[in-house]
Amino acid sequence: KGPFTGKIAFVSKRSGNKEIYLMDYDGHHVQRITANRSINLNPDFSPSGREIIHTSYKKGNPDLYRRDLFSTAESRISAHPGINITGSWSPDGNRIALSLSRDGNAEIYVISKDGRQMTRLTRTSAINTSPSWSPDGSRIAFLSDRLGKPQIFVMNSDGSSPSRLTTSGAYSVSPAWSPKGDRILYCRQHSGGFQIHSIATDGGDDRQLTTDGSNEHPRWSPDGRFITF
């Protein structure tokens, strides 16, 4: 199924605050989803397309919320002291990976979709954030600066066997696993800004996809044929 009947979730300051919106693939039919006059970030669709999760500062702390797109029902599912950010739905729709700083530095956790069950996946003195699930749910790509500069790593979904994916460049962020499972998008810092790259899941065949300006936060279409950024 192609992306042309779907929606894109994005963040805009057009109202004066960072709110979350939906739009068609061509930019038409823009619909504002949040209206709390605060900072709202990192929207992610559930596999069913009926819900999104996002981080909001509307109660002062960056907490994670889950929102039904058809009934507008909303619940706060992660509100630990510190950050509750970069939430990512698992492919089965039952779990959410996110970054929490409840124990000090930012670490990757997995919570149930209601937020009641929680498992910690990373245990380092570094910053770990931006988890992205493989389409079969067996692995997670994430960002870590455990070797000094931010790079993309991959681990099993239980936190075991972490390994570095990106080896070129000094600064890489924003991993996004393809729906086909064979490649991972990420952004690498170049002299003129960030550029989008696509790399095989074994770390080979690293391709630079953009060259002009600075290009960030890539995401795949559901069929794996297109990229938004």
Q: CB of 162 within 8 A of CB of 175? A: no
Cross-strand partners of 132: 141
Contacts (Cβ under 8 Å, ≥6 apart) of 112: 94, 95, 96, 118
pLDDT at res. 3: 86
> What is the C-alpha to C-alpha distance for residues 95 and 88, in angstroms, rounded to an integer?
9
Quickly tell me which residue has 């770390």 as its tokens: 203
Report yes or no: 48 and 57 within 8 Å, Cβ to Cβ: no
pLDDT value at position 192?
A: 86
Within 10 Å of residue 81's Cβ, how many Cβ atoms?
A: 9
Q: Yes or no: say if 166 and 203 are a contact pair by the CB < 8 Å rule.
A: yes
How many C-beta atoms lie closer than 10 Å to residue 105's C-beta? 16
Q: Can you give the pLDDT of all 229 residues of the chain as single tens digits?
A: 788 989 999 999 999 999 999 999 999 999 999 999 999 999 999 999 999 999 999 999 999 999 999 998 999 999 999 999 999 999 999 999 999 999 899 999 999 999 999 999 999 999 999 999 999 999 999 999 999 999 999 999 999 999 999 998 889 999 999 999 999 999 999 998 999 999 999 999 999 999 999 999 999 999 999 999 9
> In this structure, are residues 157 and 148 in contact, taking their beta carbons and an 8 Å threshold?
no
